Chain A
Amino acid sequence: MAESRDDFIIAIRSAFLKKSTKQKFSLLTLVFFSIFIIVLSSLNFKAISVTKSVIKEIVYRSSFIVSIPENFIKSSYLNLNEYTNFYKDYKITKEELDQLKSENISTKIIKSENEELKSLIDGYTITSNKILAKVIVDHESPFLRSIIINKGSKEKIKIGTNIYDRSYLVGRVIEVNYTNSRVLLLTDLNSNIPVSITPGNVQAIVVGNGDKKGEIRYIKNDLVNKINDKGIAYTSGTGSIFKSGIPVGTVDLKDLSEKILINFYSDFTQLKYVFAEIDELIPAPAENEEKDQIEVSNTEQIKLDIISDELQILEESNTKFLEENQQLNTLTNELNKQIEILKAENNFQKNVIQQHNLDQEELEFLRLNLIYSSKCQSKKLFSTGFKVGTPEYRKCIMQKGKIGD
């Protein structure tokens, strides 16, 4: 028992402390060294940050060079895949292009209006300057999703700078060195994106699932039903982490685990070049009016052109309406006249009919008078008749000589 314990201790001691001829350090020294570096790297001293930055600069550049053969194989493999789907992709792209062209004009208008409104709200105009950056390292760790780009603090990139693939959001910068930076991709588990989902204008947070998609979390239960399959998710701008209105992806409700997933527009495994958006806040005082006018002149010109076109169309339609209105007025007057003539005719006819009726009644009275006058006239002192010409006499005649009801 004691011997086996001794063996164990000897083996442990040998493993930790024994330094063979070719080793510069014992393993225990290296363990302490590692722990020391972990602790040191978590501290935010300037000297440590600079050292870390230098190490990263060297390692990223070296990694880029070392990766060239693997990247060549990778790109060849992807090219081969692309060629097989070339014609199919071409057709889809053509259709998309046609649709995009039609949408482009309205987007321009909305964009210029949006900029104007933002400048009114903030008192600042945000000028976005997108710079092209090359992805120098995209080795995905199975646990962390990030890329390294060849632009850093030298090009005014800061922590939080938004990164795009075309106009789609890819991620944000989480670490900046002098000539390169690390971008946390949207698929990373640590990535949280405040989004609006349309239709329905549902506010939610999209969290990367560590693989290829995002997952919608932090949403009110009663709003879940409002979300449609293929609904569009775009950044809401909440928390000022990402700018608002950037397309993120489409909703995917087909997941078997009943999670609401987001299919990102961009394929993060295929990134070669990305755009980094450098924001500069420029105050808009009256002094810089001339400068501002030049800057916004393009936008204003587009708007003016559109408005003048609209005005022309409105004037043309207005003239048409006026002409139509005049014609209709004339027609109405004519019709009114006709109505009056018809009314007069109608009245005349009514009078004629009335007169005719009266004549008929009078004729009937005269005819009956000839027959029944003897019965209705009062000739003697105690007779029951009526005096000629009175209404009672007329009534008696019309009732064919019957006196009383």
Chain B
Amino acid sequence: MIRFQKKNLFYKIYIWLPILVLFLSVFNEFDFNYLNIDYFSFNFPFILIFYFALKAYQRFDYFLVFLAGLVNDTVVGLPLGLSSLSYILICIFATYLRNITISPNLMKDWFYFLFIISLINSINYSVLFLFFSYELDITLFIVNNFFTFLFYIIFSIFFKRYLKSLDD
């Protein structure tokens, strides 16, 4: 298990790791497009934001999440503010789930996550199609939604380990 002395620089970086990874992912796009797998894509920021807004909101600055959204819009070429809105909506839904949940359950969280990303992707698709006249392939959205949903379980294992290491 990784152990740091508190007030150490590495410890501070380790605490800020989710936000750092979020920024790295929006700057860098973890898309694995060079693998040339048809239709394969998933939205890593959605997974990360939802998990940490749900489980470790004390260490997760929403304003930085908002900024990460702006960066993502700039890198991907979407209208400025759209990803920020999506990320903040995820935070709101995660906060709501946290408030109404007494005993957390991974399966419930997982399917709630599916509902949220489906809703947010629908909003994104509608805004882009109706207000910005973007030609979009809905299949790509659905596939992206599906893979994001699948990968949530895998990443939540890593995130859980990370949070556990922090608590220790």
Q: How far is the CA of A209 from the CA of B38 in the complex (A)?
A: 12
Question: In chain A, what residue has the closest Cβ to B24?
Answer: A66
Tell me how far the C-beta of A17 lies from the nearest C-beta in chain B, rounded to whole angstroms. Answer: 10
Contacts of A38 in B (CB 8 A): 79-82, 85, 127
Whether A35 contacts B85 by the Cβ 8 Å rule is: yes
Within 8 A of B (CB), among A173-213: 175, 182, 189-190, 209-211
What is the bound-complex CA distance between A309 and B58, given in angstroms? 83
Contacts of B135 in A (CB 8 A): 189-190
For A137, list chain B residues within 8 Å (CB): 75
A60 at the interface (CB under 8 A from B): yes
A278 to B90 CA separation, bound complex (whole angstroms): 44
- The B interface, classified by DSSP as helix, strand, loop or mixed, is helix
- Chain A, 3-21, CB within 8 A of any chain B CB: 7-8, 10-12, 14-16, 20-21
B92 to A11, Cβ gap below 8 A?
Answer: no
Contact present for A55 and B144 (CB under 8 Å): no
Q: Are A24 and B137 touching (Cβ within 8 A)? A: no
Residues from chain A with a CB closer than 8 A to the CB of B100 are: 7-8, 11
Chain A positions within 8 Å of B88 at CB level: 27, 30-31, 34
Residue of A nearest to B134 (CB): A190
Complex interface: chain A residues within 8 A of B76 (CB): 139, 141, 144
- Total interface residues on B, using CB and 8 Å? 54
> Which residues of B pack against A, CB within 8 Å?
23-24, 27-29, 31, 33-34, 36, 38-39, 41, 57-59, 61-63, 66, 69-71, 74-82, 84-85, 88-89, 91-93, 95-96, 99-100, 127-128, 131-132, 134-137, 140-141, 143-144
What are 15 A-B contacts defined by CB distance under 8 Å?
A7-B100, A8-B100, A23-B63, A30-B88, A31-B85, A41-B79, A41-B80, A59-B27, A63-B75, A139-B33, A141-B29, A141-B76, A143-B140, A143-B141, A189-B136
A residues engaging B (CB < 8 A)? 7-8, 10-12, 14-16, 20-25, 27, 30-31, 33-38, 40-42, 52, 55-56, 59-60, 62-63, 66-67, 70, 74, 77-78, 137, 139-144, 146, 175, 182, 189-190, 209-211, 269
